[in-house]
Amino acid sequence: MNLHEQLSEYFSIWKEMDALYSRFAKLSGISDTAFWILYCIRESKENITQKTIREQWSISKQTVHSALKELEKKRILSLRDSESDKRSKRIFLTEEGRRFSEKYLDLVCGAEDGAFKKMSDSERDALLRCSKKYLRLFKGEADKIFEQGNIAPPTKHCASWRLF
């Protein structure tokens, strides 16, 4: 398999993983963004803000706002002014939100845990090590482009071009 075929296969796997998470969101009756917000809240050890979600997940301010309104309307979460910054809202799960998260996010977490448990320690380590290495190298290549301000469309040989 040549380099472009390998990249194409990698992106195909990545998109298929994304589609699985999208199916979980659909199963729970919420948008993909709302799903990821709940996932983020669940994984957070402290109360988080809209800004934290935007920064961690690279989601636009308007998209986060819309998803939060969706979840607030369903009484899954509530927004409260931050004590330290009145411009910032802290996000809290309601009791209904806790039940919702237990019902739907526990399924996702269980599936993730089950898949990881079926891999050996060395396979998990290799997956993490290679993913981190690829991210570090890709960031390095991307930073060169961003520093030059030279943003050009991908060439026809770019595997990721077929995704869009």
The pLDDT of 128-151, averaged and rounded, is 91
Structural contact between residues 40 and 53, judged by C-beta atoms closer than 8 angstroms? yes
Give 36-92 pLDDT, tens digit per residue: 999 988 888 777 888 889 988 889 999 999 999 999 999 999 998 877 777 778 899
User: Which amino acid, 145?
Assistant: I
For residue 78, give Cα distances in angstroms to 31, 75, 164.
17, 7, 35
pLDDT at 109: 95
pLDDT at 152: 61
Ordered by start, the domain boundaries in the chain are: 3-118, 122-164
CA 148/CA 143 separation, integer angstroms: 8
pLDDT at 164: 42
- Name the class of domain 3-118: mainly alpha
DSSP at 149: T
Give 88-120 pLDDT, tens digit per residue: 788 999 999 999 999 999 999 999 999 999 999
Rg for the chain, CA atoms, rounded: 19
Give 3-34 pLDDT, tens digit per residue: 999 999 999 999 999 999 999 999 999 999 99
pLDDT at 13: 96
